[in-house]
Structure formats: C-alpha cells, structure tokens
Amino acid sequence: MSMEDYDFLFKIVLIGNAGVGKTCLVRRFTQGLFPPGQGATIGVDFMIKTVEINGEKVKLQIWDTAGQERFRSITQSYYRSANALILTYDITCEESFRCLPEWLREIEQYASNKVITVLVGNKIDLAERREVSQQRAEEFSEAQDMYYLETSAKESDNVEKLFLDLACRLISEARQNTLVNNVASPLPGEGKSISYLTCCNFN
Amino acid sequence: MADGSSPVKLSGGAAVAVAPEGTGGGCCSELSAELIRSLTELQELEAVYERLCSEEKVVEEELDALLEQQSPIESKMITLHRMGPNLQLIEGDAKQLAGMITFTCSLAENVSSKVRQLDLAKNRLYQAIQRADDILDLKFCMDGVQTALRNEDYEQAAAHIHRYLSLDKSVIELSRQGKEGSMIDANLKLLQDAEQRLKAIVTEKFDIATKEGDLHQVERFFKIFPLLGLHEEGLSRFSEYLCKQVANKAEENLLLVLGTDMSDRRAAIIFADTLTLLFEGIARIVETHQPIVETYYGPGRLYTLIKHLQLECDRQVEKVVDKFIKQRDYHRQFQLVQNSMMRSSAAEKIEPRELDPVLTEVTLMNARSELYLRFLKKRVSSDFEVGDSMASEEVKQEHQKCLDKLLNHCLLSCTMQELIGYYITMEEYFMRETVNKAVALDTYEKGQLTSSMVDDVFYIVKKCIGRALSSSSIDCLCAMINLSATELESDFREVLCNKLRMGFPATTFQDFQRGVTSAVNIMHSSLQQGKFDTKGIESTDEAKLSFLVTLNNAEVCSENISTLKTTLESDCTKLFSQGIGGEQAQAKFDSCLSDLAAVSNKFRDLLQEGLTELNSTAIKPQVKPWINIFLSVSHNIEEEEFNDYEANDPWVQQFILNLEQQMAEFKAGLSPVIYDSLTSLMTSLIAIELEKVVLKSTFNRLGGLQFDKELRSLVAYLTTVTTWTIRDKFARLSQMATILNLERVTEILDYWGANSGPLTWRLTPAEVRQVLALRIDFRGEDIKRLRL
C-alpha cells in the first residue's frame, strides 16, 4: 500500500434506476462538473478521486453503473468487491423510489455482507416537483438500517458531504477490521475512537 | 557689514586674501572680524593669528594653481575664435537642406495621393468588370438553361443554375435596376422557373432510376442535387436507394439462413455470419460511395448518409436477432439459467455443455457489431475532421457528440447490449456448473502432485474469460473477470478449504503410541455403525493423500491465477491499442484484473494455514515423543559408556531415521516448494522441543561432549533436507552445547562479552547460568560468582 501515494483505497459503486443522476453525482464530485443532457451510461464508468481526511490520503475508486435493465448482469459483477454502495433514487420520481426494495434484494444477493450502503435522494433542486417526501425516505432508510442523504448534483448540494462522510466511515470500518484481525499490533493513533459524523465538518 | 557677508560667500577662497585688514572680507575666513575684535586675551589672539596665517598659506597655494591654468585656457580661447566663421557656413548649408527636404516631402505626398486615387479607380473597375461578368453570366445562364433543358443536358442545366445561385444577390438586384430592367426581370423569372423545373425533373428522374435500379443514372442525378442546393434531399434520397439495396440483400441472406441445414459446418454460428454479411455489405457501400459524397457534397456529409443507413441496419439487425432468439431459444435458456441460479435445485436444469455453442455465437455477434461500429466511427470521424478543419472547437465537439450518440444508442448497440447482458449470466452459469462438475469428478493419479480439478477449473475459467474477451466488449470482459474472481475466491477456494478442514489424520503408528483407548474407540464406533470397517487404514491413507494434494492444489491455484493475469494482460494490449471501449477501458480492465490477482494471495494464505495445521497435527505429535526419548538417555556418563554410545548410538541416529521416514511421505506427496516450507516449520519445531528436553536433563563433561556430537549429527542431517539455512534456528542449541562442553565454569568467560569475537550470544546471562547448572560437576557457587 505504501508504494502508491495513498493510505486507503476504497471501491464505491453507485447503483439505482436509470436517469436518477448517478453519473452527474460522480461527475460533480470528481470533476466539479454538471454536464446537462448526459446520455445514458453504457455498462460501467470508472473515476478516481483522492481526498485527504484528517491528514490521510484516501483514494476513492468510484464505479458509475448503467441503470438500465440490460446492463444489470454487468453491474452486478461489481457488487462483491465494493466497499460501499450508493443506492440512488430521484426524489421527483416515485417509481425510482418504489424500485428500492428490488435493489436491496440485489445487494443482499451479490454484495459482500460487510458492505456499507448509503441511500441518496438526488435532484433536490427540483423541490417543486418532489414526489417522495424526505420523511418517507428517512423512515425507509431507517428501517433498512441505511444512512440517508438528499443531494443535488446540479447545485452541488451535499455531494462532497456524501462522499467524504462515506470515506470517513470506510476508514473507521477498515481500522476496526484491522483491529479485529490484528489485535496484537494496533495501528498508531488508534487510541481514540473516530466518529464519522463529527470528523468531517470541514466545510 | 551688510555688504560684507554676501559677496564673500560667493567669491569663496579668493576673498580671504583681501580680508586681512579687517572689515570687508573677514567673513570668508572661519573666524569673523567681530570674533577677532572681541578677543582680548593675548593667548587667544595668538592662536587666532596662527590660524589666519595658515589659512593665508592655503589660499596662496590655491591662487598659484589657478594662475598656472591661465595659459592653457587662453590657447583654448584662440582655437574657439578660429572656429567661428566655419560654424556660420554650416548653418547656411543646413537651412538649404531643410528647404529641399520640405519640398521633396510635399512632392511625394502629392504623388502618392494620386496613386491612391488610381488604385481606387482600378478596384472599382475590377468590380465593374466582375459585375458585368456576373450580369453576362446571368444572361448566359438564362439562355444556357433553356437550351440545356431542351437538350436534356441536366448536368449543364444544373451547372447554370448553380452558377446563378452562387451569384451575388445584389448583382441581380442591380441589373434589374438597369435600363434593361424589365427584360432582365422576365429572364429572371424564366431562370427561376427553370430551377424549379430542373428540381422536379431531377427528383423524378432519380426516383425512376432508383426504381429501375440503374446505378449509373442514380449516381448521375445524385451528383446534380448539390448543384441545386439540395444537399440534404440528395443524401436522403440516395441513402433511401442504398437502404433498399441493403434490405434486399439482408432478406436474401436471412432466407438462406432459414434454409440452412443444421449439419452445416457453420450452422452453429449462422446468425453471427448473417450479421457479418449485413455489416460487410454496409461497409462496402460506404467504401464505394464515400468518394462520390465527398467529391460532390463536400466533406462532413458522411454522417448524414450513415445516419440513414444505420436506420436500415437497425431494422435488419432486429430481424436477424429476432430469428436468432427464436431459433436458438435464447430467452427460454436464459430463463432456465436464471431460475436455477436462484434456486440451486431447480427441477429443470440446463446441461452447461448445451449452452456452449450459443454463448460462442453471441460473443461472435457482438464482436462483429463492435468491429462494424468501430469502422463507422473511424470513417465518420475522419470525414468530420476534414469538414471541420476550419470550424470552432464547439462545432467539432457537437459533431463528435452527435456521432457518439448515433453509434451508442442505435438499436444495434442496444440489442447487442441486451444479448451480452443475458450472455454474462449464462456464461457465469456455465462456469459455475462446469467448475462444480470438475470438482465432483476430481481424480488423483499416482505420481501427480495435484488432482485433476485444478487444471480443469482453470481451463474452464480461462475458456470463459477468453470467450468474454472474444466479444470485444470491455464491460463484458471485465464482468467475466469479476465473476471468475468470485467463483475462484468464494466457491472453489471453499472446496479446498473444506478438504483441508477434514484435517490430516493421525497415523496408525501414533494411534499405537496413544495406547489402546483410541483403538477401542475406533472399534466401538465401527461396531455401532453395524459394520467393522476394514478399509480403515486404507481410507486413512486416502485422507492423508487428499490433504497433501489439496495443499499442492492451493499452491498451483495461486500460481495459475498469477499466470492468468499475465496472459490476460498481454492478450488485451492488442485490444487496447485498437482503442476499444473508450478512454476508461484500460483503467477498468486493470482494476478488475488486480482484484483477480488478489485472489492468488487468498490461495497462498490457505496453503500457509494448511501447512501450519499439518505441522501441528501431524508432525508435532510424532516428533515430540521422539525428542522426549532424549530424556531417557543419560548424559551423565563415564568413559566406558561414552565409548559404548559411540558404537551403539542411543538416540540421535534413530531420531534422524524416524524423521527421514516421516518426511519421505511428505517429500513424495508435496511440491518442492511446499515441502521446503514444511521442513522449515519442522526444524523450528525440533529446535524448540529439543531445547526443552535439554533443559530438563543433566550432564557431566562427557555427557556434554555426547550432546555436542548428537546436535552436530542432527544439524548436519537437517541441512541436507532443506534449502533454508537452519544454523540460525539451532543457534541457541549450539551455544548450549558449547556451554555444556566447558572444562571449568570460568571458561565461559573466554567466550563471553569482550571475548565473544564473531559469536553473537542468543542466550541471556540468566540462561547461560541455567545451562551451566545442568552440569552436575559444576559447583553452584562458582556459577553464582560468575560475572556476566
């Protein structure tokens, strides 16, 4: 790991119905762009962004998947090696919310049981066309034991927060794992526990 | 006094000379006259006088110097006087020159303004000629069109119209305002009529030509459209004609397919072949007609043609794929596969072998499509490049985007994506089921280190990934690499894991040693099951072999995965050099491949776990009693016994023999690398256990010598069986032997501390004392007195 220039490497896979804005979220985070009129993603796309969190370089490998049904067998093959999944729906599209249980079944079937899943309601810039209330989504995510966040890739709302909070959680999870596997030699600076909710308040 | 201060200051030092008598110039001296006058004391006066005298001396020197300069200044003045008249001459010449320059300047300005006027006149003349030409052309066109139309010389007529259309509209306006305005108006009307007529005629003739399939006529009129400004219409009509050709040919081909004998050599890939024919046909059309389009319509127009053609291509692909799905029962097979993937014990399970041909055909179909789409992309891109050479970056990007959209989202692409989507699931099924079969049919041949399933499983995985690769779709390839990693890491590794979990059974010899209890237990359980298993020993051997073979298997798996990674890397360099799959392709592929490579380490870990297990369950229980025998051999011996030991070795030879026998089994059954790791583990074990028994024994001088001999034999033997250096592992024991061999307690000091030389002590001072105490002939107080 030390050969390359990072302390942690995580794989994050975005999934969810077609047209909910997965590609825009990834583009916004990795390139700071919001390219309108994006064509549908074909297969999977691959982006890398390295962020620094509490002085540690974290390389995020972000896989943006096609939402259309015909690419499902391709995207499913990426679940197993993912450290985190971002399950995205469109708050202005009831249908994309109603498909969530189906997506959760897929996660159950293909992803590793250690995977962290985040539920994201995108397109809050179109609040006047909202079809799924925040409360409903929160209740759903709570029942499924998922972290929930509403974002706007267009206005860049909560996009950084989404990925950085996730990175924080992945770091603390990775630390716990090394602790479990490697009780005799804790990592340096492991004395204090890290709460991911508080460690990212830098914007 | 008033006049005294100011002039003196100006004239400087010169005034000092005049000053002495008092009033006037005294100020120039540092001492003012008043000051002098106010002085009353003689002493002070004398001091002042002295200072005045020295000032006077300085002034005189300065005066002398100035006087010396007088003569050179005078001579310079004379020279200056002589130059006077010359300067006057020069002034006159300069005035004259200035006059001439002013004159020339005005002359030049005069001339150039005339030249400018001339130039303007010339330009206007040119314009006038141009306009006259245009008007003449217009007239010529008017006349020409009529004649050409009458003669059915449509090319000529179109050329005239083209000329007319490319004329400056203001020219036409101007000529209407001229004297012959009304006549020209009438002519213009005729011309416009002719244009309309020509358009109608060309369209009609083109249609007739296409209906008759007269390629020559089709091309003839196709070339006329752009002359009339009907680029889009020409291209769309022409592509309509070409599409019809494509459709006819495709229908013929499809009919041929339906009539194909299933025993035909290419029957298994007949649909891929049909698609190939379709694509080749379109490619040929593009190749043939691109030059005409480029010449008569200009560059950048190929996109329009392809857009029309692709629609027809999509229609034909749909037909072919529909037939494919029906004839090969593709969807039903997919359904069956999906069902049996969901519930592992489905009633109707597809034999994976049956899927083999259809999977190959689908990848071939996709590969052909990719090739075709790549061909289109290359052609249109380079055509755009020529057409957009002067265009802005935005236009270029817009064009590229249009092209990408056309190719990525055409029905052909979508259909293929769908087929590949099904393919991946089915290929995964094929891989999993065939791997399961290989595991079920696992056999081991004597003399082999590994069993058949390892080779079989990797053959299957390679085949599946290779087939995905042959589809030319990077996403498909990456998905299969991911799924292979899952299959190997989760399923196949689990198989090996389970085999290792059964453990390496205890040997009969060991059972013997453990005593009767275990034997009774075995009998008891066998009796309970209602039969006395005579195959007990045999199956124990089998279980042992299975454990060793599994270790070898794990090692080979780890190596095979690394090899697979390297092979895939080199296989794909060619693919990437063709620019397949966009800019992210290489990064995606590398990432997936490194995940696969990581599985190799998982197998290595498994091997290591197995070896540790083997060492602690099979080797340790055997080796420990052998080493414990050491305790029953006295090392408190006299000369006679020592000699007797020489002849009849009491322990080490038998120990070595036992080790050799035991390791022979492993040496034969394990790969050299694994065997080496195992012996390394074993030597560590021996070193630790031997140390324990030595510390429990007692020695005298000869006993120590005996132990030293024994240790040397053991180390010599172990050195021959392993490639690792074992001296290090036995360093502590050798040092113990050294201590046990001492003549006197204090002799230790010859080896300790400053005298240790190259020897690094692995024993702590406390341990040294402990070992010394093992010598019964050493006195405890001597040992206590040692300073270590």
With CA atoms as reference, the chain B residue closest to A63 would be B588
* B505 DSSP 8-state letter: P
**What are the contacts of B121-125 at 24+ separation with CB within 8 A?**
none
Which comes out higher in pLDDT, residue A119 or B757?
Answer: A119
Give the SS3 label for residue B391. coil
pLDDT of residue B522: 47
A8-15 β-sheet, strand order: A44-53, A56-65, A8-15, A84-90, A116-122, A147-150
Segments in chain B below pLDDT 50:
1-27, 508-536
pLDDT in tens, A78-102: 999 999 999 999 999 999 999 999 9
Which comes out higher in pLDDT, residue A190 or B61?
Answer: B61
pLDDT of residue B538: 58
Which amino acid would we find at residue B149?
Answer: L
Residues with Cβ within 8 Å of A138's Cβ and at least 6 positions away in sequence, in order, are A148
Helix B536-577 with B652-669: angle, nearest 10 deg: 50
Give the SS3 label for residue A155. coil
DSSP A23-88: HHHHHHHHHS---SSPPPP-SEEEEEEEEEETTEEEEEEEEEE--SGGGHHHHHTTTTT-SEEEEE
pLDDT of residue B685: 93
Query: Among candidates B141, B288, B307, B305, which has minimal Cα distance to B227?
Result: B141
Range 564-593 of B in CB contact (< 8 A) with A: 584, 587-588, 591
Q: Do B405 and A72 touch (CB under 8 A)?
A: no
In this structure, the number of other CB atoms found within 10 A of the CB of residue A154 comes to: 17
Which comes out higher in pLDDT, residue B41 or A117?
Answer: A117
Q: A33 — contact with chain B (CB < 8 Å)?
A: no
Rounded distance between C-alpha atoms, residue B4 and residue B24, angstroms: 5
Q: Thinking of the domain B633-785, which architecture would CATH place it in?
A: Up-down Bundle (1.20)
Contact B504, B398 (CB under 8 A): no
pLDDT of residue B27: 45
Contact A141, A101 (CB under 8 A): no
Do strands A44-53 and A84-90 pair parallel, antiparallel, or not at all (unpaired)? Answer: unpaired
- Delineate the domains of chain A, giving CATH numbers in brackets: 6-174 (3.40.50.300)
Structural tokens at position B615: 């060492």
Count H helices and E strands in chain B, helices first. Answer: 31, 0
Contact A45, B584 (CB under 8 A): yes
pLDDT in tens, A51-67: 999 889 999 999 999 99
pLDDT of residue B581: 66
With CA atoms as reference, the chain A residue closest to B596 would be A81
pLDDT of residue B312: 92
Q: Do B475 and A61 touch (CB under 8 A)?
A: no
Q: A42 — contact with chain B (CB < 8 Å)?
A: yes
Of A43, A61, A81, the CB nearest to B475: A43
Residue A13, strand partner residues: A63, A85
Rounded distance between C-alpha atoms, residue B593 and residue B564, angstroms: 9
* A147 DSSP 8-state letter: E
Rounded distance between C-alpha atoms, residue B217 and residue B211, angstroms: 11
* A185 DSSP 8-state letter: S
Give the SS3 label for residue A13. strand
Structural tokens at position B352: 């994976």
Q: What is the 3-state secondary structure of B286-330?
A: HHHHHHHHHHHHCCCCHHHHHHHHHHHHHHHHHHHHHHHHHHHCH
pLDDT of residue B474: 92
Which amino acid would we find at residue B769?
Answer: R
Structural tokens at position A171: 């770091």
Rounded distance between C-alpha atoms, residue B679 and residue B675, angstroms: 6
Q: Do A77 and B482 touch (CB under 8 A)?
A: yes
Give the SS3 label for residue B699. strand
Q: A80 — contact with chain B (CB < 8 Å)?
A: yes
* A194 DSSP 8-state letter: -
> Is A90 exposed, middle or buried (CB count within 10 Å of its CB: 0-12, 13-18, 19+)?
buried
Q: How confident is the model at residue A202 (pLDDT cuts 50, 70, 90)?
A: very low
Contact A88, A25 (CB under 8 A): yes
Which amino acid would we find at residue A182?
Answer: N
pLDDT of residue B754: 81
pTM score of the predicted model: 0.76
Residue A28 distance to chain B (closest CA, Å)? 18
B64, containing H or E segment: helix B42-68
- Among all chains, which residue has been given the structure tokens 């267009």? A154
